[in-house]
């Protein structure tokens, strides 16, 4: 399967220069490089600019409700374990109204690859502040500036013991492709949070802004097996509107990857399942089931 085989006849309608184009290309390349056929994976979209991708991807899947991509994806993952399930969600979508679904999906370690289109703004509804908008940034809904600190999706995922956490940048397609490939091959919940500049409504966190600040973790002595160090990195690298490139560096790459043997929710459900006619006779201790999977 070539990347072109994954597209419909509908041409993408994102704004010219939108970061979604880079994410779109990187995921097509990743799926092609890994040798997936269309029958081996399914995609679920939330609502937002990213969700328009449901019209451009020639794949099986569904366009869900605003903030609700993860629940149907969970059902799909549990009922069709033969499929790799990919969720595409936005920062306003997945980290706003859908934040509780995000937390519970992470802690359960559902076998899903979740890709967050993080443009730090509500793009589809013309530029309101989103949960990840930088503090003090002026938007149409916060003309005096955002009061609160932004949501920290990397730190939140790590706090809930996520088994794969990465961050990418839509302006570096080859690097993002490799992150996607690692996430797709991970067994369990894999988060790839992608800085995806909105060229129309976010005039601060631009491609230029990120190119002056991003650096790749794999080009340092970073150890992605150290969850504590990953959490500290996530806490200490919040960027702000006032920082210069020398003051503010944005790490991209794999923050954390758990070792083998962490049971997924899917494997636990499968191991704990007992036919209805046997349940009264053979009660199962779920702790024993989970221990047996490690």
Report the domain count for the chain: 2
Same domain for 252 and 124:
yes
**Residues 283, 171 share a domain:** no
Residue 148 and residue 21 share a domain: yes
Residue 243 has pLDDT above 90, yes or no: no
- 277 pLDDT exceeds 50? no
127 and 218 assigned to the same domain: yes
Q: Are residues 244 and 281 in the same domain?
A: no
- Give whole-number Cα distances, 141 to 135, 145, 197, in Å: 13, 9, 19
Residues 177 and 287 in one domain: no
Backbone angles phi, psi at 135, to 5 degrees: -60, 140
List, in order, residues 6 or more apart from 194 with CB less than 8 Å away: 19, 23, 115, 116, 117, 118, 167, 168, 169, 170, 176
pLDDT at residue 233 tops 80: yes
Answer yes or no: do 25 and 105 share one domain: yes
Based on the domain organization, do 222 and 244 belong to the same domain?
yes
State phi, psi for 256 to the nearest 5 degrees: -150, 140
Please tell me the pTM assigned to this model: 0.92
According to the model, what pLDDT value does residue 275 have? 53
Q: Is 96 helix (H, G, I), strand (E, B) or coil?
A: helix
pLDDT of 289: 62
Verify that 95 and 160 share a domain, yes or no: yes
Q: What is the CATH number of the domain that holds 33?
A: 3.40.50.970
The answer on 172 and 123 residing in a single domain is yes
State the pLDDT at residue 293: 64
| Shared-domain flag, residues 14 and 106 | yes
Gap between the Cα atoms of 272 and 270, Å rounded: 6
Contact 173, 194 (CB under 8 A): no
Same domain, 257 and 270: no
Which domain does 272 fall in, by range?
263-294
């Amino acid at each position: 399967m070539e990347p072109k085989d994954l597209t419909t006849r509908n041409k993408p309608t994102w704004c010219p220069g939108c970061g979604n184009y880079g994410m779109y290309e990187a995921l097509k390349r990743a799926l092609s490089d890994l040798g997936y056929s269309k029958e081996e994976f399914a995609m679920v979209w939330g609502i937002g600019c990213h969700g328009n991708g449901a019209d451009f991807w020639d794949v099986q899947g569904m366009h869900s409700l605003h903030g609700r991509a993860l629940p149907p994806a969970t059902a799909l993952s549990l009922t069709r374990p033969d499929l790799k399930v990919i969720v595409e969600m936005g920062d306003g979508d997945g980290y706003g109204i859908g934040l509780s679904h995000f937390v519970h999906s992470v802690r359960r370690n559902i076998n899903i690859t979740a890709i967050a289109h993080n443009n730090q703004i509500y793009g589809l509804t013309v530029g309101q502040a989103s949960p990840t908008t930088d503090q003090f940034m002026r938007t149409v809904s916060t003309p005096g500036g955002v009061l609160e600190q932004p949501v920290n999706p990397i730190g939140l995922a790590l706090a809930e013991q996520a088994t794969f956490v990465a961050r990418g940048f839509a302006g570096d397609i080859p690097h993002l492709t490799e992150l996607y490939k690692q996430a797709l091959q991970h067994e369990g919940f894999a988060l790839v949070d992608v800085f995806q500049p909105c060229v129309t409504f976010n005039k601060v966190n631009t491609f230029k802004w990120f190119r002056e600040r991003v650096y790749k973790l794999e080009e340092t002595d970073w150890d992605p097996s150290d969850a504590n160090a990953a959490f500290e990195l996530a806490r200490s690298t919040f960027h702000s509107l006032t920082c210069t490139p020398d003051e503010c560096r944005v790490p991209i790459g794999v923050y954390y990857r758990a070792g083998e043997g962490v049971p997924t929710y899917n494997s636990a459900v499968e191991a704990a399942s007992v036919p209805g006619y046997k349940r009264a006779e053979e009660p199962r201790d779920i702790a024993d089931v989970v221990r047996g999977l490690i």
